[in-house]
Amino acid sequence: MPLDPKKRRPLTRPRERAQLPLTDKPRRGGQGVVVGMPRVGHGYDIHKLQPGGQLVLAGVVVSQEVSPVAHSDGDVVIHAIVDALLGAMGWGDIGEMFPDTDPRWKGAASRLFIEEVYPKVRAAGYRLSNLDVTVLAERPRLAPLKAQMIASLAGMFGLGGTINLKAATNEGCDAVGRGEAVAAHAVVLLAKAQD
Ligand SMILES: [Zn+2]
């Protein structure tokens, strides 16, 4: 609780506390202490499915019966996360950073996109505070694979940050509900950190 500098009493009234200057200075030392204003970003992706090949979500092979129509491996979870990271930093979107006209990304494992973007986020002084993903797929049932997908994502971000993943169907609605597509939403919160 901040103290009134003159009277040394806690500033309890909202109006008083709102008048305190915003500061980016850390209040406590230590590794990775979060300071300054956090940044939030949202990402969404959808890919059509075709028979044959394999479906990769969050870096985990979840089906050997269908595959996404995509330039890279079509991992909607990672694509949504990368868009959320780019959005949080104000860096545009995945299509601008990894154009599908670039042969480097043809058939690429999408974890490469996180391995390319997250170090840039870190270099800018931010760290993952938390990541929340919702993946929508009618088939296969993803619930038994959730822990594996979360572990896979945690491996891409290294230590720190909370990662949550929710797997749902689209209740039979639209292309996702008919099993013709998979989609994902991601929200990230990045916090300024001190090394
Ligand atoms: Zn995509």
Q: What is the pLDDT of residues 149-183, one digit of tens each?
A: 999 999 999 877 899 999 999 999 999 999 999 99
84 CA from centroid of ligand 1 (Å): 13
pLDDT at 116: 94
CA-derived radius of gyration, the chain = 20
CATH architecture for residues 41-192: 2-Layer Sandwich (3.30)
Q: In what order do the strands lie in the sheet with 162-168?
A: 66-68, 34-51, 181-193, 126-136, 162-168
152 CA from centroid of ligand 1 (Å): 18
Average per-residue pLDDT for the chain: 86
DSSP bridge partners of 134 = 166, 185
Count of Cβ atoms closer than 10 Å to residue 174 Cβ: 13
The pairing of beta strand 162-168 with beta strand 126-136? parallel
What residues have a C-beta under 5 A from ligand 1, the ion? 45, 79
74 CA from centroid of ligand 1 (Å): 5
CA–CA distances in Å: residue 18 to residues 2, 12, 37, 165? 11, 10, 15, 35
Sequence ranges of the domains in the chain: 41-192
Q: Give tens-digit pLDDT for 63-114.
A: 999 999 988 889 999 999 999 999 999 999 999 988 888 888 787 899 999 9
